[in-house]
């Protein structure tokens, strides 16, 4: 029996406002400063991920909540433009769409977040039939979803019973607690996508390679994202690394989410793991070439063309 969707994710619906150039450090005493530039665009790890899977041609649906405001409309509009099914994003009068305001200076960012719609979805409002209609479920922003997080063991147990495969990108834990709960879901995860710091924190190891081997004992398909160093994974007991291509980086917002999506495009199409990692790297790298999380994302035809250029063979 065919499934209606390739990918489902619970969305951390929000907007990113990125401020850069000039003196971006605010000063109290009502000082006014002039900044060089800003970008306003859809944010949210899961929604950025969903845009990328949809652009690669995977049938993608997002479950979530949005405020009845212009930011909520912006998020839904951007998702639709990418081809994401947004009918399960519930617009609510009683909440505001979340925002992340990032002050960008050199390679660093200071971020102020208003949670709002990011963590407004209640477990009772999750349409379970949508999850069972998908081939794959992706979890992002695990540590930001306080309402849903305690229910993930139940939700993932259900998903697995319905033949849904699962990937996890925890992203950063703002409380830096890391462990205590995540152990209850790792058994359901088929693909784990931490970056280096997240992996070491979750595995309670200083050394990345040791942490990776430890993670692989639980989730053999653990792929570690290493920023401009690319990524690494374990293949037949041996650690392999895949480098990135040279790009002009504007900002790295959403690079990890684009990586996850590129990898899963390959994996859900039955490609070998190394190829999947290469696709992840290409999607991650190219996403850094434009401001914000989604403008630099590749469509499937771009990915095929760039893959051919880089690897001198068809994807
Ligand atoms: N400076 C860069 N140059 C080229 N490619 C990059 C760069 N930064 C990131 N990438 C690509 O994006 C992928 C994911 O980036 P990163 O390691 O920053 O993940 P992350 O920490 O999960 O990101 P995010 O901030 O989206 O959560 C990398 O594996 C790499 O392929
Ligand atoms: Mg990340």
Q: Give all domains of the chain, ordered by start, each with its CATH number.
A: 5-13+44-96+127-308 (3.40.1190.20)
* pLDDT confidence band for 1 (50 / 70 / 90): low
Rounded Cα distance between 227 and 308, Å, is: 23
- DSSP 3-state assignment of 66? strand
Task: Please give the pLDDT value at position 22.
Answer: 85
Eight-class DSSP state of 126: S
Task: Please give the pLDDT value at position 57.
Answer: 98
Largest CA distance in the chain: 64
**Residues 151/199/42/131 CA torsion (nearest 10 deg):** -30
CA of 290 to the centre of ligand 1 (A): 13
Task: Please give the pLDDT value at position 109.
Answer: 87
Atom of ligand 1 nearest to the CA of 193: 22
Indicate the pairing of strand 191-192 with strand 224-225: unpaired
Contacts 24+ apart (CB under 8 A), 206-215: 209/239, 212/239, 213/239
- pLDDT, average across residues 208-214: 97
pLDDT tens digits for 191-201? Answer: 999 999 999 99
- Looking at the chain, the whole-number percentage of residues with pLDDT higher than 70 is 100
Which of 225, 231, 266 to mutate to test ligand 1, by most ligand atoms within 8 A of the CB atom? 225
Ligand 1 binding pocket (C-beta < 6 A) is 171, 195, 225-228, 230-231, 244, 247, 249, 252, 254-257, 259, 281, 284-285, 288
Contact 31, 84 (CB under 8 A): no
Q: Which residues face 165 on adjacent strands? A: 136
Give per-residue burial for 139-163: e unless 16+ CB within 10 Å, then b. Answer: bbbbbbbeebbeebeebbebbbeee
pLDDT tens digits for 52-93? Answer: 999 999 999 999 999 999 999 999 999 999 999 999 999 999
SS3 content of the chain, % helix, strand, coil (to 5): 35, 25, 35
- pLDDT, average across residues 32-47: 96
Q: Hey, whose CA ends up nearest to atom 16 of ligand 1?
A: 227
Q: Which residues face 108 on adjacent strands? A: 105
Rounded Cα distance between 3 and 154, Å, is: 21
Contact 314, 305 (CB under 8 A): no
Task: Please give the pLDDT value at position 107.
Answer: 79
Neighbours of 80 (CB within 10 A): 13
pLDDT tens digits for 255-308? Answer: 999 999 999 999 999 999 999 999 999 999 999 999 999 999 999 999 999 999
Ion ligand 2: residues, CB < 5 A: 171, 256
- From the CA of 225, the nearest ligand is 1
CA of 226 to the centre of ligand 2 (A): 10
State the number of CA atoms in the 13 A half-sphere of 66 facing the CB. 27
Q: Hey, whose CA ends up nearest to atom 30 of ligand 1?
A: 230
CA of 108 to the centre of ligand 1 (A): 14
Atom of ligand 1 nearest to the CA of 285: 5
Rounded Cα distance between 60 and 86, Å, is: 9
Neighbours of 116 (CB within 10 A): 22
Residue found by looking up tokens 């760039």 in the block:
306
- From the CA of 258, the nearest ligand is 1
């Amino acid at each position: 029996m065919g499934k209606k969707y390739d990918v489902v994710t619970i969305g951390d619906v929000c907007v990113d406002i990125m401020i850069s150039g000039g003196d971006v450090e605010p000063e109290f005493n009502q000082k006014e400063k002039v900044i060089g530039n800003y970008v306003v665009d859809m944010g949210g790890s899961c929604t950025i991920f969903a845009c990328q899977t949809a652009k690669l041609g995977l049938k993608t649906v997002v479950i979530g909540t949005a405020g009845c405001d212009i930011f909520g409309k912006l998020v839904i509009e951007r998702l639709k433009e990418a081809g994401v099914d947004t009918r399960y994003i519930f617009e609510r009068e009683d909440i505001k769409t979340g925002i992340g305001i990032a002050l960008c200076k050199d390679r660093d960012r200071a971020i102020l977040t208003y949670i709002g719609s990011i963590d407004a979805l209640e477990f009772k409002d999750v349409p379970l039939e949508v999850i069972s209609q998908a081939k794959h479920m992706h979890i992002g922003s695990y540590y930001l979803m306080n309402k849903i997080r305690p229910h993930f063991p139940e939700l993932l147990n259900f998903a697995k019973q319905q033949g849904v495969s699962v990937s996890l990108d925890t992203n950063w834990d703002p409380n830096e607690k890391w462990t205590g709960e995540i152990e209850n879901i790792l058994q359901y995860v088929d693909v784990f996508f931490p970056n280096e710091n997240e992996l070491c924190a979750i595995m309670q190891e200083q050394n990345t390679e040791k942490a990776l081997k430890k993670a692989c004992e639980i989730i053999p398909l653990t792929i570690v994202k290493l920023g401009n160093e690319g990524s690494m994974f374990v293949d037949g007991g041996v650690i392999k690394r895949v480098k990135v291509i040279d790009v002009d980086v504007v900002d790295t917002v959403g690079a990890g989410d684009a990586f996850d999506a590129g990898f899963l495009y390959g994996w859900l199409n039955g490609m070998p793991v190394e190829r999947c990692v290469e696709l992840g790297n290409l999607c991650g790298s190219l996403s850094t070439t434009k401001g914000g999380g989604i403008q630099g994302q590749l469509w499937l035809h771009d990915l095929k063309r760039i893959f051919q250029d880089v690897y001198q063979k068809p994807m």
